Amino acid sequence: MVANIYLGKITRWNDKAIADLNPNVKLPSLAIMPVYRSDGSGTTFNFTAYLSAVSAEWKSKVGNANSVSWPVGQGAAQNAGVAGVVKQTQGTIGYVELAYANQNSMPVATIKNSSGNWIDPSLASTSAAAAGAFPADTRIVLVNPDAREGYPISSLTWLVVYREQNYGNRSREQAEQLAKLLWWMIHDGQQYVTALDYATLPPPAVKAAEAIVKSITYNGQALVK
């Protein structure tokens, strides 16, 4: 459904495909204006990853990247630009991160996940999307995951650090402080993330992150044991 809107195949809000999914809603005969990020972004990468996962046509014609050639619609810079167009122009549809949608009181879409459940975007459904099988290197795209209660368009945020911390003028103390910060972030620091509209890490993600933090060394010696 979403892919067909962004492919330009569904052009009005009262299209039969949308009406069949909303039998108790009177839909307007209003043109749909898809809005997308005109700048390269991780948000676009994740959104197009989802479209590629659920639509073979989207995958072959447009694909998945930080920036793509959109078949239809209007571009706007950054989350603020997309949100501005959606809020000010009747009939539009766009994509922004959940924190931005919540903080700007934007209406959001309930989407059917791979388990066939209709899921609202929320902190809980984002955590649920990451609660299944989790690779040790954390390289996972959380789109259309096999998670019954998971929202199908979710994403992780990564922090990239050197495994061996003895480089440049870095001291062992600095390396130790970094390792302690990372450990705090995936444990005690989790209590602060929901207030910022970010989801807490589920246990599988925490376990994978712990192993990575424990692998950080200074002169080959582990900084966290």
Instruction: Return the closest-CA partner of residue 119 out of 45, 50, 70, 58.
Output: 50
Q: What is the per-residue burial (b if ≥16 Cβ within 10 Å, else e) of 141-156?
A: bbbbbebeebbbbbbb
- Report pLDDT for 53: 96
Q: Are residues 184 and 100 located together in one domain of the fold?
A: no
Residue 126 belongs to domain spanning: 122-225
Looking at residue 61, what is its pLDDT?
97
224: in domain? yes
Q: Please say whether the dihedral angle defined by the alpha carbons of residues 142, 144, 149 and 154, taken in this order, is positive or negative.
A: positive
CB 70 within 8 A of CB 62: yes
Domain shared by 94 and 142, yes or no? no
Alpha helices by DSSP H, listed for 94-171, are 98-103, 123-129
Report pLDDT for 169: 92
What is the spatial distance between Cα 132 and Cα 205, in angstroms, rounded to a whole number? Answer: 9
Residue 126 inside a domain? The answer is: yes
Distance CA 126, CA 101 (A): 14
One-letter amino acid for residue 46 of the chain: N
For residue 116, being part of any structural domain is answered with no
Residues 103 and 144 in one domain: no
Alpha carbons 136 and 151: distance in angstroms, whole number: 22
Question: Which of 75, 109, 143 is the endpoint of a domain?
Answer: 109
Given 78, 109, 140, the domain boundary residue is 109
DSSP state of 46: H
Residue that has been written with the tokens 């694909």 in this structure: 63
Closest-CA residue to 79 (of 106, 53, 58): 106
H/E run at residue 149: none
The pLDDT, as a whole number, for residue 153 is 96
| Regions of the chain where pLDDT drops below 70 | none
Answer yes or no: do 9 and 103 share one domain: yes
Partnered with residue 119 across adjacent β-strands are: 111
pTM: 0.91
Q: Is residue 75 part of a domain?
A: yes
- What pLDDT is stored for residue 100 in this prediction? 87
Largest CA distance in the chain: 66
Neighbouring CB atoms inside 10 A of 219's CB total 9
- Rounded to an integer, what is the distance from CA 26 to the centroid of its chain? 30
pLDDT of residue 134: 85
